[in-house]
Each structure stands twice: as structure tokens, then as C-alpha cells.
């Protein structure tokens, strides 16, 4: 059976080798993308990026396969033209969610084909027999599994909780779809070279996206300008997590990530953060430093992470409220607002 042979497949999975080859064979110039023949292409490319910003997931439209396929590299061009790490990550995550959703509806052989041909994974069908009372769809080489599974915080993905046999991890269809989508995310987070000179039509779309990006970052408190670090201005959720860390209490992965990403974004150094976590019982300096540097964008894809929104923290059970939280959607927003109120007063510095 031949896989990835239809334009529909290429449109759904534009990151595959086959899709990239199809695009290359068209031999299009950047000026062609704004010609009357592709009049709706720029609109769809911009729509993909705006959907990523506003909805957190990119839709799949099957009414025009060629447009859907070509809008993918154009959307990447729009993202890279702005050179913003927040936008790059936001877009990568949104495209990966799109891929995860589509792969979950595919036949098993197609997932194997994409995993092998696009990412070079050692993957095969699992034997149709019950293992520990469960049936599995795939066997994936443990080396390939460990490329991306450690990025998932849920204990479900820890290798100790998986069925491992002769160097292969047994997985279900949704597991492999999730791993492939994670691989797509990290590929899209890689910084590309300097963008080419853009035609006015594309520059106009870049400006539209930039205005939406600036507005969202401001709304989420990611527009910087914090100045000297003031512990008195911390939101109550961060104060509680920080107190737990200093007291050496057990902390969840979500709590550690929230504290680290918050403090990194207001100017606390990697060394200071490592020192804070040194009080925790399971402290490992080398591992802690690596994780902090990854969140700070020093390691990995170069992305500096921001803390979760207030609604997400509520989901994690980390929300702590006071009267100043009214109307605030993000911890960094709370901090910035609090600094303005505290302006001129004495600050407690970490």
C-alpha cells in the first residue's frame, strides 16, 4: 500500500518529506504566493498564525488541498519574520495539536509510515496478544520514545510506567499520535535562517499578526518592563509556591515549572533559582540547573517559557487569591500591576 500519495494527505501533514518534495517541485517564488492565482493563500497562511494565537490550535480545511498545503510554509515565514519566541512556540504548539487530532483518526499503518519516513523512528506493529491484560498497537524503540516522552509531565509517560520488552516500548495509537505531534512541535520551534525580503502584501499580513501578538502579550503580562525584582509584589500563588520551595516541601512538576518560569521572566538568575530549589528534598543540582536553563531558553529550542495563566493554575490546584486578583488573567500581569501600585515604596528583593 502506498502512503502519503494523495494531496489530501499532504495537506493534512505538510511537515512530511513527501509534502516538502511536492512544494519544492512547484518551484514557486515568494512573489508567486501573492499573485492572483494564489489570492486566497496569503489569507489562509495568516489565518493559521492568528488561529494559533487566539484559539491555540490550527484548523484543517479540506476544501482546497493545495492551498492548505502551501499555507503551511507561508505561515512559518510569517512567524519567522517577526522573530518572536512566544509566537514561535504558540504556533508550534497549535500546529502540533492539529496533527495530534488528525493522526488519531488515521489507520495504524499511516502513523508507522510517517514516524519512519519523516522522523526515522524504529517502530512496528505490536503482536495481537494481551500484555498485562491490555492490547497494544505499536512497538517503538525506547531510544525514539525517550526523545520526546520526557517532555510530558504526566506520570503516564514515565518509562517506569510503560511496558518495555527487548528495547521496545508498547504503545497505543493515541500515544504514537501524541509523540509524533510533539516531534512536529519541536521541529517547528527550531529557528530558521533570516527571512527573505517580503513583498508589501506579506508585510501587511505580518503587521496584522504583530498587532494581535502585542495585544495578547500585553494582556498576559508578557510585555516586560518589570525592573527590580520585588517579592512584595508577587501574586499570592507565586508567594505560596516560593515559600514551599524555601521550606523544602514536596512540590509538583506544575508548581516547579510555574515558579521557575515566573521568576525567570522577572529577572531572577539561573543560579538564584538553583539555590531556591536546593532546599527541596529531592534536589539534584545538575538536573535542576538543566531544567531551569531549559525553561530560560538557554538550552533546547531557545524558547523562554512563560508561566501558566490564572485559569490554568486554578486547574492545577495552585491558585491562591486575594482582593488584588480581581480581573487579573496572568501572574505576570498581577506582578506588573502590583509594581505600579508599589512604586516609590521600599521593595523586598530576592
> What is the mean predicted confidence (pLDDT) over 95-111?
93
Residue 171 is inside which H or E element, if any?
strand 168-171
Residue 350 lies in a domain: no
- Count of C-beta atoms within a 10 Å radius of residue 228: 10
Q: What is the pLDDT of residues 37-79, one digit of tens each?
A: 887 899 999 999 999 999 989 999 988 999 999 999 999 999 9
Distance CA 197, CA 204 (A): 13
Residues 88, 130, single domain; the answer is no
Q: What is the pTM of this model?
A: 0.69
Residues 75, 196, single domain; the answer is yes
Residue 130 lies in a domain: yes
**Number of compact structural domains in the chain:** 3
Residues 182, 193, single domain; the answer is no
Q: How confident is the model at residue 139 (pLDDT cuts 50, 70, 90)?
A: very high
Residues 137, 97, single domain; the answer is no
Question: Which of 27-36, 37-46, 99-108 is predicted with the least confidence, judged by mean pLDDT?
Answer: 27-36
* Cβ-contact 76, 202 below 8 angstroms: no
Task: Report in angstroms the alpha-carbon separations of 350 from 188, 231, 232, 273.
Answer: 36, 6, 10, 10
Residue 347 lies in a domain: no
Residue 290 lies in a domain: yes
Cell of 286: 545538575
Confidence at residue 224, expressed as pLDDT on a 0 to 100 scale: 52
In three-state secondary structure terms, 265 is: helix
> Which is higher by pLDDT, 214 or 248?
214
Residues 126, 88, single domain; the answer is no
Residues 238, 337, single domain; the answer is yes
Confidence at residue 228, expressed as pLDDT on a 0 to 100 scale: 60
> What is the mean predicted confidence (pLDDT) over 127-143?
88
Residue 348 lies in a domain: no
Q: Which region holds residue 133: left if phi is over 0, alpha if psi is between -120 and 50, else beta?
A: left
Q: Which of 217, 235, 263 is the last residue of a domain?
A: 217
Nearest by Cα to 77 from 64, 56, 91, 67:
91
Confidence at residue 32, expressed as pLDDT on a 0 to 100 scale: 83
| Residue 106, phi then psi, degrees to nearest 5 | -90, 165
Residues 117, 84, single domain; the answer is no
> What is the mean predicted confidence (pLDDT) over 168-175?
95
Residues 27, 133, single domain; the answer is no
Residue 172 lies in a domain: yes
Is residue 116 predicted with pLDDT exceeding 90?
A: yes
Residues 77, 51, single domain; the answer is yes
Residues 144, 34, single domain; the answer is no
Residues 212, 226, single domain; the answer is no
Residue 1 lies in a domain: no
Is residue 226 predicted with pLDDT exceeding 60?
A: no
> Which is higher by pLDDT, 191 or 71?
71
Confidence at residue 212, expressed as pLDDT on a 0 to 100 scale: 94
Q: What is the mean pLDDT of the chain?
A: 87
Residue-number span of the structural domain to which 244 is assigned: 222-342
Residues 21, 93, single domain; the answer is yes
Residue 75 lies in a domain: yes
Amino acid at each position: 500500500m502506498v502512503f502519503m500519495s494523495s494531496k489530501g494527505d499532504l495537506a493534512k501533514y505538510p511537515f512530511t518529506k513527501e509534502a516538502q518534495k511536492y512544494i519544492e517541485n512547484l518551484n514557486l517564488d515568494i512573489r508567486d504566493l501573492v499573485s492572483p492565482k494564489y489570492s486566497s493563500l496569503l489569507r489562509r497562511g495568516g489565518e493559521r498564525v492568528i488561529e494559533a494565537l487566539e484559539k491555540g490550535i490550527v484548523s484543517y480545511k479540506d476544501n482546497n488541498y493545495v492551498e492548505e498545503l502551501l499555507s503551511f510554509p507561508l505561515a512559518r515565514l510569517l512567524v519567522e519574520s517577526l522573530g518572536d519566541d512566544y509566537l514561535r512556540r504558540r504556533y508550534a504548539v497549535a500546529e502540533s495539536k492539529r496533527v495530534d487530532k488528525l493522526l488519531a483518526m488515521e489507520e495504524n499503518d499511516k502513523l508507522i509510515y510517517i514516524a519512519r519516513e519523516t522522523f526515522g523512528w524504529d517502530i512496528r506493529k505490536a503482536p495481537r496478544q494481551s500484555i498485562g491484560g491490555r492490547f497494544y498497537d505499536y512497538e517503538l524503540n525506547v531510544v525514539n520514545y525517550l526523545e520526546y516522552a520526557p517532555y510530558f509531565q504526566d506520570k503516564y509517560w514515565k518509562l517506569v510506567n510503560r511496558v518495555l520488552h527487548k528495547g521496545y516500548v508498547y504503545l497505543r495509537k493515541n500515544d504514537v499520535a501524541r509523540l509524533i505531534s510533539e516531534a512536529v512541535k519541536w521541529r517547528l520551534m527550531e529557528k530558521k535562517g533570516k527571512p527573505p525580503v517580503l513583498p508589501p502584501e506579506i508585510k501587511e499580513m505580518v503587521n496584522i499578526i504583530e498587532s494581535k501578538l502585542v495585544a495578547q502579550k500585553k494582556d498576559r503580562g508578557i510585555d516586560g518592563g518589570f525592573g527590580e525584582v520585588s517579592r512584595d509584589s508577587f501574586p499570592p500563588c507565586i508567594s505560596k509556591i516560593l515559600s514551599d520551595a524555601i521550606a523544602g516541601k514536596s512540590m509538583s512538576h506544575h508548581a516547579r515549572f510555574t515558579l521557575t518560569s515566573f521568576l525567570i521572566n522577572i529577572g531572577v538568575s539561573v543560579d538564584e533559582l538553583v539555590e531556591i530549589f536546593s532546599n527541596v528534598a529531592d534536589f539534584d543540582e545538575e538536573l535542576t540547573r538543566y531544567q531551569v536553563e531549559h525553561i530560560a531558553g538557554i538550552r533546547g529550542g531557545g524558547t523562554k517559557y512563560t508561566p501558566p495563566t490564572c485559569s490554568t493554575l486554578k486547574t492545577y490546584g495552585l491558585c491562591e487569591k486575594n482582593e488584588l486578583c480581581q480581573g487579573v488573567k496572568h501572574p505576570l500581569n498581577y506582578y506588573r500591576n502590583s509594581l505600579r501600585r508599589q512604586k516609590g515604596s521600599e521593595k523586598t528583593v530576592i
